[in-house]
């Protein structure tokens, strides 16, 4: 039992942990009751990538949230006309982010974000029902717990949860 605890406890604290989805903010990607495994190790090696689904906390709030990474550090992001745009490094041109994971949800209100070093813009996939960076602002890397790695429940949806298409 002691040997098992010496293996299981550090693994759960530093490598992976379970997460149960609560709320409609990530529909149709994840639904209330989905049982996920969170990879806590990857972001110790590298930063989040656009399109990855992450688990985070907002400042000192003890509640965990599940959201998708939309904006990366030092980027400028504009929400305009229900679409999300990223400005290139020279800030002269922008391109629309392809969000194939969205169905017909609208992204509003129009807004503009200038992300600093170690800041990320996160949005839910169900934009009208998501409490995300449009309300609480960009999040810092230190507030990210990890990325969604695996869905274990429901059984009909078991599989790895990779980056968005």
Torsion region of 136: left, alpha or beta (phi above 0 gives left; psi -120 to 50 gives alpha):
alpha
- Cβ contact 81:111 at 8 Å: no
Of the candidates 25, 130, 133, 147, the residue annotated as catalytic is 25
List, in sequence order, every beta strand (DSSP E) within the chain.
Answer: 16-20, 35-39, 53-57, 64-71, 76-80, 83-87, 94-96, 111-114, 119-123, 139-140, 144-153, 159-160
pLDDT of residue 139: 94
Point out the residues of the chain with pLDDT beneath 50: 165
pLDDT per residue as tens digits for the range 86-123: 886 666 666 667 776 666 667 878 889 999 999 999 99
Tokens of 75: 């980027």
Of the candidates 67, 130, 133, 147, the residue annotated as catalytic is 67
pLDDT of residue 12: 59
Tokens 């790895």 appear where? 160
Tokens of 14: 């530093």
- Cβ contact 68:133 at 8 Å: no
pLDDT per residue as tens digits for the range 24-34: 888 888 889 99
pLDDT of residue 165: 41
- The model's pTM is 0.80
- Is residue 25 annotated as a catalytic residue, yes or no? yes
């Amino acid at each position: 039992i002691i040997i098992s605890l010496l293996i299981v406890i550090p693994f759960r604290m530093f490598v992976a942990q379970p997460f149960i989805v609560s709320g409609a903010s990530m529909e149709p990607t994840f639904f209330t009751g989905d049982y996920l495994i969170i990879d806590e190790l990857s972001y110790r090696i590298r930063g989040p990538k656009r399109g990855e689904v992450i688990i985070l906390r907002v400042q000192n709030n003890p509640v965990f949230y599940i959201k998708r990474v939309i904006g990366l550090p030092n980027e400028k992001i504009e929400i305009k006309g229900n679409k999300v745009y990223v400005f290139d490094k020279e800030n002269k041109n922008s391109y629309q982010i392809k969000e194939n994971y969205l169905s017909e949800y609208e992204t509003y209100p129009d807004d503009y974000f200038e992300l600093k070093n170690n800041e990320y813009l996160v949005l839910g996939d169900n934009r009208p029902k998501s409490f995300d960076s449009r309300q609480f602002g960009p999040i810092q890397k230190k507030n990210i717990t990890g990325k969604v790695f695996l869905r274990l429940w429901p059984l009909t949806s078991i599989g790895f949860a990779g980056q968005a298409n």
